[in-house]
């Protein structure tokens, strides 16, 4: 089904209202971007303390599947987007019967399911030449027993509901694989060959209702324990051949499913004995992405601005990055000392450093691994940005910024 958009929701004296499914930090930064352009906002999230709900004009505190909540959202909004990729497709479809919803339920459904996602990437690989890691679908005992030995050691990933490395088990051999699948109660999974990663990166694009596409440059990402820790956003962060191929692949991944909105695609650079390694595609997020947070401080248009533009049918300006940037994720661990006791990070020391931009999401309760905020460092040149980022990391007790 091709999405049909009734017309641009231009900012005017009577504000239109833009809605978002999900009230986390991505929703909060979306709300800020929309409000800056004069829109009213509505957030649907059951949590009364949700970071986005607390800063929005409307906060509908129901589950994603609550019919009355969805009706209320539809009645106050002129268009709806999502910040959470596990919103049930049925809820997005219900909203789409009365107002423009982007990305569509069909696109979000593909990103929700690793089996469909990999099939989509494989179809796009015929055009882009960028394929996925070798994998097998495991939904039945027969499929488990038929797994080729060359996929091991591998990573067993649940088809649904995985994030920040959750729903993943590393397995060395067939016995471990069988035990891991049983532990996951035999839910649909994919087994991916464990690849020798040299680097990880991502590309964020925005695609409009009219099919126009703009793109941010590729980011290099460093993960620790399956969670994004550092994003390097500057030229020379990756060999140029990878940058161009990843960008083209991301655009074709968006175009192939007539995607509308902001899309992030994650890639691996795999060691294959060649000088630069080879590029493979990992997964996609149907929304702005943690690796694109630097765009708020280092680009003239951010990923959240483009989310607003895309859903409202406004033109999509090609973003221009005006400063090299490094983003440090601030997980709950930063608020805890070595003994797990709570502490207040030395923000004064961090903010005294040049070019630091602190973003805190207003979450109550720091827990290890919980995304509480991020710090972006911008500056005139890459070396200077790296030096300040390292100083900030030292103050906050974070690992080194260069892997
Ligand atoms: P996200 O928070 O990005 O949604 P996720 O839980 O959905 O994460 P992935 O992105 O698939 O999961 O994997 C998390 C991390 O695990 C990757 O960033 C990478 O560091 C590592 N990883 C995943 N798959 C592989 C693989 N096939 N080979 C080697 N490392 C891998
Ligand atoms: Mg990932």
Q: Report the Cα 403 to chain-centroid distance in Å.
A: 21
55-70 pLDDT per residue, tens: 999 999 999 999 999 9
Closest C-alpha residue for ligand 1 atom 19 = 226
Q: Sort 228 into a burial class: Cβ within 10 Å, 0-12 / 13-18 / 19+.
A: buried
Residue 108 in contact with ligand 1 by CB distance below 6 A: no
Give the span between the Cα atoms of 125 and 131, in whole angstroms. Answer: 5
One pLDDT digit (tens) per residue for the chain, 403 residues: 445 566 788 766 678 999 999 999 999 999 999 999 999 999 999 999 999 999 999 999 999 999 999 999 999 999 999 999 899 999 999 999 999 999 999 999 999 999 999 999 999 998 888 999 999 999 999 999 999 999 999 999 999 987 666 789 999 999 999 999 999 999 999 999 999 999 999 999 999 999 999 999 999 999 998 899 999 999 988 988 899 999 999 999 999 999 999 999 999 999 999 999 999 999 999 999 999 999 999 999 999 999 999 999 999 999 999 999 999 999 999 999 888 899 999 999 999 999 999 999 999 889 999 999 999 999 999 999 999 999 999 999 998 887 6
Q: From 3.40.50.150, 3.40.50.300, 3.30.300.30, 3.30.470.20, which CATH number describes the 197-396 domain?
A: 3.30.470.20
Residue 192 in contact with ligand 1 by CB distance below 6 A: yes
Question: CB under 8 Å, gap of 24 or more: what pairs does 173-182 form?
Answer: 174/147, 174/149, 177/144, 177/147, 177/152, 178/144, 180/156, 181/138, 181/144, 181/156
Residue 333 in contact with ligand 1 by CB distance below 6 A: no
Report the number of secondary-structure helices (H) and strands (E) in the chain. Answer: 12, 17
Query: Under a CB-based contact definition with an 8 Å cutoff, are residues 181 and 156 in contact?
Result: yes
3-state secondary structure of 40: strand
pLDDT of residue 24: 98
> How many other CB atoms are there within 10 angstroms of residue 38's CB atom?
12
Question: What CATH class is the domain 134-193?
Answer: alpha beta
pLDDT of residue 163: 67
3-state secondary structure of 262: strand
**CA of 135, closest atom in ligand 1:** 27
pLDDT of residue 164: 63
pLDDT of residue 303: 98
**CA of 163, closest atom in ligand 1:** 6
Each domain of the chain, given as residue ranges in start order, spans 17-101, 134-193, 197-396
pLDDT of residue 241: 87
Residue 85 in contact with ligand 1 by CB distance below 6 A: no
In the sheet that 40-44 helps form, which strands lie side by side, from edge to edge? 58-60, 40-44, 17-21, 79-82
Q: How far is the CA of 165 from the centre of ligand 1 (A)?
A: 6
Tokens found for residue 21: 């499914």
pLDDT of residue 338: 85
**CA of 154, closest atom in ligand 1:** 27
Q: Report the Cα 49 to chain-centroid distance in Å.
A: 22
**CA of 196, closest atom in ligand 1:** 29
Ligand lying closest to the C-alpha of residue 163 = 1
Q: Sort 378 into a burial class: Cβ within 10 Å, 0-12 / 13-18 / 19+.
A: buried
Topology given in CATH for the domain delimited by 17-101: Rossmann fold (3.40.50)
């Amino acid at each position: 089904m091709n999405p049909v958009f009734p017309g641009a929701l231009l900012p005017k004296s009577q504000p239109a209202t833009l809605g978002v499914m999900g009230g986390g930090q991505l929703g909060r930064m979306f709300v800020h971007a929309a409000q800056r352009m004069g829109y009213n906002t509505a957030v649907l999230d059951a949590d009364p303390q949700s970071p986005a709900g607390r800063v929005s004009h409307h906060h509908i505190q129901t589950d994603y599947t609550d019919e009355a909540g969805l009706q209320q959202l539809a009645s106050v909004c002129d268009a709806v987007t999502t910040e959470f990729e596990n919103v049930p497709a049925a809820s997005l479809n219900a909203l789409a019967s009365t107002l423009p919803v982007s990305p569509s339920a069909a696109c979000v459904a593909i990103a929700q399911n690793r089996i469909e996602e990999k099939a989509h990437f494989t179809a796009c690989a015929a055009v882009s030449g960028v394929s996925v890691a070798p994998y097998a679908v495991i939904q039945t005992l027969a499929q488990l027993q038929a797994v080729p030995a060359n996929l091991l050691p591998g990573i067993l990933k649940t088809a649904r509901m995985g994030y920040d490395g959750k729903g993943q088990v590393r397995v060395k051999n067939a016995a471990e694989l069988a035990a891991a699948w049983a532990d996951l109660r035999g839910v649909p999974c994919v087994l991916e060959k464990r690849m020798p990663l040299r680097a990880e990166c991502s590309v964020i694009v925005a695609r409009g209702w009219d099919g126009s596409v703009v793109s941010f440059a590729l980011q290099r990402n460093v993960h620790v324990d399956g969670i994004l820790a550092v994003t390097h956003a500057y030229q020379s962060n990756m060999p140029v051949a990878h940058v161009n191929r990843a960008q083209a692949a991301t655009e074709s991944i968006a175009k192939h499913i007539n995607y509308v909105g902001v899309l992030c695609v994650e890639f691996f650079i795999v060691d294959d004995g060649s000088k630069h390694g080879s590029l493979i595609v990992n997964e996609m997020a149907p929304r702005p992405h943690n690796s694109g947070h630097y765009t708020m401080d280092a680009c003239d248009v951010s990923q959240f601005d483009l989310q607003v533009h895309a859903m409202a049918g406004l033109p999509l300006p090609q973003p221009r990055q005006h400063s090299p940037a490094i983003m440090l994720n601030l997980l709950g661990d930063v608020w805890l000392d070595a003994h797990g006791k709570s502490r207040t990070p030395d923000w004064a020391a961090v903010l005294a450093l040049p070019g630091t931009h602190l973003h805190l999401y207003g979450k109550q309760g720091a827990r290890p691994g919980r995304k509480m905020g991020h710090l972006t460092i911008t500056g005139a040149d890459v070396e200077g940005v790296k030096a300040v980022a390292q100083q900030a990391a030292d103050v906050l007790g974070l690992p080194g910024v260069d892997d």
